[in-house]
Amino acid sequence: MILSPSILAADFGILAEQIKQVERGGAKWLHIDVMDGHFVKNISFAMPVIKSIRKYTDLFFDVHLMIDDPGDYIDAVIDSGADGVTFHIEAVDDPYPCIEKIKRRGKQAGLSVSPDTPVEAVLPYINDVDMVLAMTVYPGLGGQKYMTRVNDKIRALRRAAGENFLIQVDGGVTKENIDSVLAAGANVIVAGTCVFTGDIERNIKDLSR
């Protein structure tokens, strides 16, 4: 599995130091949510934040766009330091232009699906992207409880995509439920609150499988 700690739950006053703790804990990815206040009812990191932390770490920047018109921002996000860019199927009429734009820049392309969107919405594109993100909470706010009903969607994605495809989950993953999440077929785990509450390095080791 790949653990991708979400800095949405970090202490922004000591963000660079907490990113170093993530590295020391052994995580290889860092999950960065970009929210515009329109697609979701929250506002978060934009390009200046991504660019400012890029110089402090070589971690894989796993950038999740929860925004309208994601194609307008892909180049700017990549220029700021993103290694992978994931956008929502619900935010576009046709995902292919965004996928192609990410791929042309040599980055990992991901497609995200919200809890109430049927898995069939993303199945036609699994051969065109590197990863599908199944949201296990409603996008936009941290600290929500994991929606176990999304496990059926994860299982369907795993059956369709095969053994090695990257299936990411984001929202409500804890030390107590991570094994059931992995058993459903996820292999990339976003974790925020349970990483950045308390001993970050210990938390990452406890979550790692």
Residue spans per domain, the chain: 2-207
* Distance from C-alpha of 137 to C-alpha of 142, rounded to nearest angstrom: 9
Summarised one tens digit per residue, pLDDT across range 118-127 is: 999 999 999 9
| pLDDT at position 143 | 67
Which region, left, alpha or beta, applies to residue 162 given φ > 0 means left and ψ of -120 to 50 means alpha? Answer: left
Instruction: Specify the pairing of strand 60-66 against strand 29-35.
Output: parallel
CATH (one of 3.20.20.70, 3.30.390.30, 3.30.470.10, 3.40.50.300) for 2-207: 3.20.20.70
* Distance from C-alpha of 145 to C-alpha of 138, rounded to nearest angstrom: 10
SS3 category, 172: coil
pTM: 0.95
Q: Does the pLDDT value for residue 44 go beyond 90?
A: no
Summarised one tens digit per residue, pLDDT across range 130-189 is: 999 999 999 877 667 999 999 999 999 999 999 999 999 999 999 999 999 999 999 999
Active centre residues (catalytic): 33, 170
Distances (CA, A) of 130 to 50, 103, 185: 21, 10, 16
Instruction: Specify the pairing of strand 2-5 against strand 108-113.
Output: unpaired
